[in-house]
Structure 1
Amino acid sequence: MTSSDAAAFHLEVPYILDLFAGPGGLDVAAHMLDVPSLGIEWDKDACDTRYAAGLKTWHADVSEVRRNRFHELPSGLNVLAGGPPCQTYSVAGNGAGRKALDKVEKLIHELVAGVGEKEIDEELKKLGGDGRTALVLEPLRYAIKALDCENRDKRPFDVIVLEQVPAVKALWQVYKEALETGLPREDGTRVRYKVAEVKTLHTEAYGVPQTRRRTILIARLDKHPAPPLPAPTHHTFNPHKPEQGGPEEKQTALPVDGTTVLLEPWVSMERVLTSRKGPFEIVSNYGSGGDPKKRGIRTYRQPSFTVTGKVSRNAVRRHPDGPALDPDRLTIPEAGILQTFPPDYPWDGGDRSQQVGNAVPPLFGMHVLAAALSLPLPPEEKLRGSWGRLDPKSAEYAQLRTDGCKAPDGCGPDCPEPEGQSAPSSSSDSSRPRTGASARRSAK
């Protein structure tokens, strides 16, 4: 894939539909690229943050929208993006999704073969569990649904971008095969896609000041040039050789797709957490092999651990070379900065730790979307500028909620049932793990 091939691809007006949109990581990335987006998000807390941030949002269940409201989606949506909930596939989860991989793979093949929605739903019921495992099929079901939707003139999505934890790589490979084989229309014809290599990427290789791995799938309609993967811009971090690739090293040349790129050092916490004075170190909230006595430690001169939904439990303590610290926990704005959200991003609603931990790092999202859409990357400093909070009494805020909830100041008739969802917005953050339906369905 050459740079000229990538440059040949152009969407007149890219417009992203972000499934499982969370508090807005991918939408912030789209905003930085001047691309409009619409997010669908089940969790009320995340929607509160999205409305405060001024992001277009449907507070809705992704599956319910596909079944009953697909025709209401704006007809101009031409980029499908999503990161389905991953706990059942994650190493940190209970493994139900991993055990069901073969069954889910079978369902992907059945969808591509043209098996109807009702039949697929009946088979999904047999999987049992809390429903999250089945959600990995939703992007494919949306892509197929678009092919026979009269409201969008049966027009397929031009681009599909998916991200997940590395444990889902095998399913993304099956997705790749399905998209290349072709998705079925009702008239028996097929719509085919070109798909980039499914690959697990390190977010610190794109300037994110934390070590986090995500497996990416990028596809374009067969009439377009094949998509590239985003080229790395920074070194990866090796915890066994923590000095390697760090600020003390010079730029390093790396061959990528026939060209040479210069890799910058990975980004340390010290560089971005500028409000913390003096040396410090972070103690992970989880231990190696489940042993809390073996919790990892990163210094201020290294990238952080993966920001998770329990990030507020990460202790910040005095580095042996420095003074005592206050506060002794990462704050929600600090966790957001480690995720590369703007410093003043308006986190709202409850369980903000979970929101931050579930989000796609916007800087990483910028690289992925820019590669998928062949757009130039804006300077990273743009993400460090002010974002601001939308006035909840403003007409713009009321319109966002009316569009997303069909009510200007609260949940409307099409919003998910309130059972299991979190309490109304408050100024404090709850760091306790969420239970019930909200935890089961909302997290990525």
Structure 2
Amino acid sequence: MSSPGPQSHHRSDARILDLFAGPGGLDVAAHFLGYKSIGIELDQNACETRYAAGLPTIHGDVRVIRETRFDEIPSSVDVLTGGPPCQSFSVAGKGAGRRALSTVTQFIHRLVNGEDEAAIDEELHDLDDPRTALVLEPLRWLLKAIETKGRNPYEVIVLEQVPAVMPLWEVYAQLLGSGEGRLAGVKYETRCFMLKTEQFGVPQTRTRAVLVARLPTRGGIERIETTHLPFDVRRDRRDAAQSDTLLSDSAIPAVGRRWVSMADALEEASKPSGSSVDVTRLRTGAELKFFVVSNYGSGGDPKNRGMRLSTEPAFTVTGKISRNRVYTSPAEFDAGRPDRFTIPEAGVLQTFPHNFPWSGKDQAQQIGNAVPPRLGMHILSMALRGNAPSSEELSAATTWPTTARDATEELRRLGCGDHSQCPPFSHQVTRSPRASCL
């Protein structure tokens, strides 16, 4: 099966609306499954990547778009997806969101019960971390669709976040299944999943909390079947099992193939003609061999930096991946001469295509904030079609179609226009269209 063609550069036929779209993890997944999408994104840098990739985008705040520009969303949209910013919930952050879980749960109930939204907004401003309130936005978008004349409820809803948000997804699931209050009798079949990325062929360890909701006319929600074995993050267990992981795939039990290693992914990504992934510097002879020292501490000790071998999956890819240190030998480590992952390499570890056109500034942060497209393909395929993506679709998802410069310019015009409706200060730095895509 060949890769789908370039994205439509217009919004009118989009089926999927991606809130907090980032550089396009879920949009990339949707593209390779044959679905058209439109994303809303606040960050101008991520928008530049989306424009360069041919992804229809509205540059704006999801709250502002919902309140004042909801009519710009195509009526063809019947799928709502989103991964609200996770910093306040993440174990890597200060934990304001985790402390506010019970408070946010109350807000969810109050919104569905029809309490005054202006009063709720006033209280939300008093949260320790204002970003915590963004986890309510998917619910507010659903309620807006239900209560807007001429709109239909979304047929499918897919939400993902860090594991700490699972209690909120469970509250969502309970209320979406009730049809009470402002849901106006609209009931969904719901199911929550805790998914490990390496079990879906993503060459990194990362756990995500996922909620899938569908109108009953689409039938029950099946489990999302894994394709690869889990990776044991405890080194003593890994070392003991190392000989087993060297077996060929044919020797692995039928429950799944061995997880994909960093070396596997980067080697494969370096093969296509014109690939931006060049791993020559990481070779020892003909073998791609290196080890990575994390930028983060482990076991509660910031000085205890974890290490992963090239024959293992990467650490969770975060916005700080460019700070991870890469060594090809103990001598390099002893001499303190680390290498770093390049932006295309970091993107490949997130399962973006090898030639994905990363643009704008803070590209490492864009990559770390994104949903791994390969995981997104498994989630969306199950949610929308009731089955796993085909091997042909997964194979095609390694190369991104080129977007012509005039198409990128048109997407920027549609997404940003004269900048008057973009977030304040996001266009302070004046750049030529060409420079802004570097």
TM-score bin (small chain):
0.7 to 0.9
Listed one character per residue, the Cα deviations across residues 317-345 of structure 1 (whole Å, up to 9, x for unaligned) are 02449999998101110000000000010
The answer to whether the 8 Å contact 2:200/2:228 transfers is yes
Alignment counterpart, residue 266 of structure 2, candidates 273, 277, 281: 273
Matches within 5 A, 1:22-421: 22-129=22-129, 131-150=130-149, 153-182=150-179, 184-185=181-182, 189-196=184-191, 198-240=192-234, 241-242=237-238, 243=241, 246-248=245-247, 250-254=251-255, 263-274=256-267, 275-276=278-279, 277-278=283-284, 279-289=289-299, 291-320=301-330, 328-374=339-385, 377-379=389-391, 380-388=394-402, 390-392=403-405, 394=406, 396-407=407-418, 412-418=419-425
Cross-structure match for 1:5:
none
Stretches of structure 2 that go unaligned for 5 or more consecutive residues are 1-12, 268-277
Q: CA deviation at 1:88?
A: 0.4
The answer to whether the 8 Å contact 1:247/1:265 transfers is no
Instruction: Name the SS of the counterpart of 1:191 in structure 2.
Output: coil
Q: Which has the larger helix fraction?
A: 2
User: Normalised by the size of structure 1, how large is the TM-score?
Assistant: 0.83
The answer to whether the 8 Å contact 1:353/1:429 transfers is no
User: Normalised by the size of structure 2, how large is the TM-score?
Assistant: 0.85
Query: What is the rounded CA distance, in whole Å, between the counterparts of 2:55 and 2:416 in structure 1?
Result: 13
Amino acid at match of 1:74: P
Query: What is the rounded CA distance, in whole Å, between the counterparts of 1:96 and 1:239 in structure 2?
Result: 27
- Distance change (3 Å), C-alpha of 1:428 and 1:117: closer
The answer to whether the 8 Å contact 1:268/1:302 transfers is yes
Stretches of structure 1 that go unaligned for 5 or more consecutive residues are 1-12, 255-262, 431-444
Q: CA deviation at 1:119?
A: 2.8
- Distance change (3 Å), C-alpha of 1:62 and 1:14: closer
- Distance change (3 Å), C-alpha of 1:183 and 1:352: farther
Query: What is the rounded CA distance, in whole Å, between the counterparts of 1:362 and 1:415 in structure 2?
Result: 27
The answer to whether the 8 Å contact 1:112/1:182 transfers is no
- Distance change (3 Å), C-alpha of 1:382 and 1:422: farther
Listed one character per residue, the Cα deviations across residues 19-44 of structure 1 (whole Å, up to 9, x for unaligned) are 00000111000000010000000000
Query: What is the rounded CA distance, in whole Å, between the counterparts of 1:353 and 1:125 in structure 2?
Result: 30
- Distance change (3 Å), C-alpha of 1:422 and 1:299: farther
Query: What is the rounded CA distance, in whole Å, between the counterparts of 1:305 and 1:312 in structure 2?
Result: 12
Listed one character per residue, the Cα deviations across residues 55-74 of structure 1 (whole Å, up to 9, x for unaligned) are 01000100001111112210
Query: What is the rounded CA distance, in whole Å, between the counterparts of 1:358 and 1:118 in structure 2?
Result: 30
Listed one character per residue, the Cα deviations across residues 274-297 of structure 1 (whole Å, up to 9, x for unaligned) are 243231001111111453431111
- Distance change (3 Å), C-alpha of 1:183 and 1:317: farther
Report the RMSD for the aligned CA atoms in angstroms. Answer: 2.7
Name the stretch that deviates more: 245-254 or 374-383: 245-254
Query: What is the rounded CA distance, in whole Å, between the counterparts of 1:418 and 1:223 in structure 2?
Result: 45
Instruction: Name the SS of the counterpart of 2:383 in structure 1.
Output: helix
Query: What is the rounded CA distance, in whole Å, between the counterparts of 1:292 and 1:100 in structure 2?
Result: 25
Instruction: Name the SS of the counterpart of 1:67 in structure 2.
Output: helix
- Distance change (3 Å), C-alpha of 1:326 and 1:227: farther
Amino acid at match of 2:290: F
Instruction: Name the SS of the counterpart of 1:223 in structure 2.
Output: helix
Instruction: Name the SS of the counterpart of 1:40 in structure 2.
Output: strand
The answer to whether the 8 Å contact 1:82/1:163 transfers is yes
Q: CA deviation at 1:264?
A: 1.0
The answer to whether the 8 Å contact 1:285/1:295 transfers is yes
- Distance change (3 Å), C-alpha of 1:181 and 1:51: same
Query: What is the rounded CA distance, in whole Å, between the counterparts of 1:184 and 1:70 in structure 2?
Result: 22
The answer to whether the 8 Å contact 2:177/2:190 transfers is yes
Structure 1 runs (4+) greater than 4 angstroms displaced: 320-327, 419-430
Amino acid at match of 1:209: P
Establish whether residue 16 from structure 1 lines up as the match of residue 23 from structure 2: no
Query: What is the rounded CA distance, in whole Å, between the counterparts of 2:189 and 2:14 in structure 1?
Result: 18
Q: CA deviation at 1:427?
A: 7.8
